[in-house]
Chain A
Amino acid sequence: MTPAADIPLKEPTVSAAAGDAEQLERARIDASTRVPVLMFYASAMVWLLIGTLLAGFVSFKLHSPDWLSDVSFLTWGRLRPVHMNVMIYGWASMAAMGTAIWLMARLCRTTLRHPLLIVTGIWFWNIGVLIGVIGILMGYSTGYDWLEFPPYAALVLFVAYALIVSWAVMMFRFRRGDQIYITQWYLLGAFLWFPWLYAAAQAMLFIVPVQGVMQAAVGWWYANNLLFLWFGAIALGTAYYMIPKVIGRPVYSYHLATIGFWTYALFSSWTGMQRLVDGPFPAWMITASIAATILTIIPVATVGLNHHMTMQGYFPVMRYSPTLRFTVFGAMSYTVFSVVGILISLRSTARYLHFSEASIAYSHIGLYAFFTMIMFGSMYYIVPRLVGREWRYATLIKLHFWASAYGVGLMSLMLLVGGLTQGADQDDTSMTFIESVASVLPYLRGRTVAALLLTVSHFIFAFHFGLMLFGLGRTSTVPTFLNPVEAEGGEPHL
């Protein structure tokens, strides 16, 4: 048996010549996911817009601190955690769950059972995020990064998650066909890792609190693992589905995919402590995390190579397919994310970058350039299949892509360069501290410009998504291409 024969890529290969029965079955599966997945996406969009506006406030207030500062719930120090948590639990987690559930149903080739339970779970999740946001604004933030929600909000999120994901995991039981596609590995991993992580962090910080600095270790362990094992895993799984699907070609190597998955799970879960480099901790903890961060280059290389070889010869399709363009951008950003992660963790560079804005750039490259862009891509693919309409305006999709790409690019550049300046000035003891603040201010203003670009991008996307939701998309059998396809081209499943 050659490795190629192992590739269980039924979905992508069959779709090229889909029979009527297959078409019908897929339509039935999509229909069963319609209400929950659209609800996930609609909630995620609302949180995305709120989070984007908050990001603008936070970015602006950081260089113009006197603006709207006299009201307790508008103070920078409360809006910043609200922005982060809205993006993490409101936008990113809900978009991730929507996409993951749709993919799961498709790949298990089974209808989604009990969608009403999931819908209830979505309501609970939204309520949980709302309670948490109000808690932070009222001044009850816990002070642990990415876990600022008061513990009672976390409890609501937990109930919601159980309602949602138990049935997503149960789809495995009813799946048809023996083979488990690589996307399902990532999704199943993410579905299980998230509740374990969240429960472990909540238990060790609030239920049986650990002593002193161990709280910070648990906090960063959670935050980094959330980034990798929850958001990263779902993003990679989605990319493994979307790229072969859109270009109608199997994944280049199944073995590479396996190596990529297990090295990813093993190494990325050991990162986290590098965010505490040279802090009051046993040195071995930090060294282990730095080593793990460097080793993440292995999954990056295997996953990157795999996607690249799959895409080989098909890169021009990015001219037409919105899904592919966003997904490939995200997949490439995964490499950038990892490289930046290594650069800011090494002890020699951390001396300058550790306490600077560069760590903010790192989070945004991971959560936005990598994860969010892949989610946008998957939404461009999935939403038309749920509402039975095609995206109305190719121009809006293009605007969305370029505003997002330039926005996050500019933001990362500003924060990395600004962070380096800031960190170098702080290391130079002949300069006063305030000079290091002054040196980073121009970059922070540049970051506000980037935030404006992203705001424009998200409102465009939300408008377009709204049109789809209200049945105002195009009625057509041909998907919306970014550019007109030459007469003979046109893959029907773009």
Chain B
Amino acid sequence: MKGLVSLFIGVFGTFAFSWVGLTVIPNLQIGALNPQMDEEGTDIYPAPKSGMADRGRRIYAANGCIYCHSQQIRPDYASSDIDRVRDAGPSPRPKWAERRSAPRDYIFDRPVVLGQERMGPDVANMGKAAPTEEEKPATAPAASANSPAPGQSPPANASAPKPGTSGSPATSPAPPAGSPPGPPGAAANPSPAASASPNPTGIPPAYSAAWHHRHLYSPRSMSLDNRDSTMPAYKFLYEKHPISGERSADALQLEGRDAPPAGWEIVPTYEAKCLVAYLMSLDQSHPLKEVKTAAGAAPPAGSPPAAPAGSAAPAQPKQ
């Protein structure tokens, strides 16, 4: 009967209207962005993440980090995100961001983990907050140095190593030897960072790899201020080993209640290393042509963007 047909058409029509309007058309607009580069074709941003960091993102998503940490910086007219500084770190404290986030920042992310809540701070620029002293080269895995394309990274979820398999990288002082995917720049980090620490409290420099490991292992041990932190401890990403011969280079520096008994050490599993490599790779500080940078640094002059701009910039381009 007629009523049923028109009902069906209406039901289908409203659905199709919404589907086309909110997913298909935006996908035409921002669904095929390319990395930005200057005229010489260098200085490419963003770059795909290394194999370890890419896998770290899956660990980040699977363990629910996404429910408390956002990875998106709102513009200065809509929030104070850009004015906010981190709670830890040397003075002046690292800022959350220099500019708002744009669609182009995420083109290699899968899954994209924008987040929805901030029980914990935004981590869009977590890697940028890492200490900048000698170990700077090692802490910039997002720079041009890293080669592996995301396609080469293993299907992380399908073959996540169980604790048993991660024994080899954990006990060996040279973790990259036992790890299948690409050159994991950040994994070499714990040792220099830990040894370079002049800190009498034993807490590694804020936002270094060693700091992240300790923070993941025991979030409320980092300073007196963060007793209120509601972050769960991710102790299941770490393993307790008897020390055989020499102490592992990447063993965690712990004291008090968290410290292992004498003769034992706590070492990160491969998953923990991936997660930290991912956190340290988070960096949206590179200027984008379509976004105004807060520090007044003018966006690099040049030709108009190769791909259609996200039009997310405060100054909207004419259609």
Contacts and interface: CB of A to CB of B under 8 A. Distances in A.
Nearest 9 CB-CB pairings of A with B: A77-B64, A143-B61, A269-B18, A212-B106, A355-B118, A72-B236, A265-B14, A278-B74, A438-B228
B29 interface: yes
A432 to B, nearest CB: 5
B4 interface: yes
6 contacts: A65-B231, A81-B64, A140-B157, A172-B4, A214-B27, A432-B225
Contact of A280 (B12, B27, B72): B72
Interface string A422-437: 1000111100111011
B105 A280 contact: yes
A212 B109 contact: yes
A193 B232 CA distance: 38
Interface in A207-239: 209-218, 221, 225, 229
Interface string A141-171: 1111100001000000000000000000000
B62 A141 contact: yes
A437 B230 contact: yes
Given A188-B11, A269-B18, A351 B79 contact: yes
Contacts of A360: 117
A356 B118 contact: yes
B158 to A, nearest CB: 9
Contacts of A240: none
Nearest to B110: A209
A65 B10 contact: no
B138 interface: no
A356 B105 CA distance: 24
A279 B101 contact: yes
Contact of A212 (B85, B112, B233): B112
B106 A213 contact: yes
Nearest to B14: A265
A80 B61 CA distance: 12
The contact size tier of chain B is: 35 or more
Interface in A101-151: 136, 139-145, 150
A488 interface: no
Nearest to A217: B26
A78 B65 CA distance: 9
A266 B108 CA distance: 34
B100 interface: yes
Contacts, number: 246
Contacts of A280: 72, 100-103, 105-106, 114, 310, 312
Contacts of B79: 278, 351, 427
Contact of B29 (A282, A355, A426): A282
Given A211-B33, A279-B74, A355-B70, A77 B232 contact: yes
B86 interface: yes
Nearest to B235: A70
Interface stretch (A29-37, A283-291, A395-403): A283-291
Interface residues of A, number: 94
A78 B63 contact: yes
B62 A283 contact: no
Given A140-B62, A140-B157, A280-B106, A433 B86 contact: yes
B128 to A, nearest CB: 16
B83 interface: yes
Interface of A: 61-63, 65-66, 69-72, 75-78, 80-81, 136, 139-145, 150, 172, 178-180, 185, 188-189, 192-193, 196-197, 200, 204-205, 209-218, 221, 225, 229, 262, 265-266, 269-270, 272-273, 275-285, 288-289, 347, 350-351, 354-357, 359-360, 422, 426-429, 432-434, 436-438, 440-441, 444
A434 B225 contact: yes
B26 A215 contact: no
B72 A76 contact: no
A429 B14 contact: no
Contact of A145 (B59, B65, B116, B312): B116
Interface in B224-243: 225-226, 228-236
Interface in B105-140: 105-121
B109 A283 contact: no
A137 to B, nearest CB: 10
A418 to B, nearest CB: 11
Nearest to B237: A72
Contacts of A150: 157
B44 interface: no
Contacts of A65: 219, 229-233
Interface in B53-92: 58-68, 70, 72, 74-75, 78-80, 83-87
Nearest to A82: B64
B295 interface: no
Given A143-B113, A192-B12, A357-B117, A78 B64 contact: yes
B111 A144 contact: yes
Nearest to A211: B31
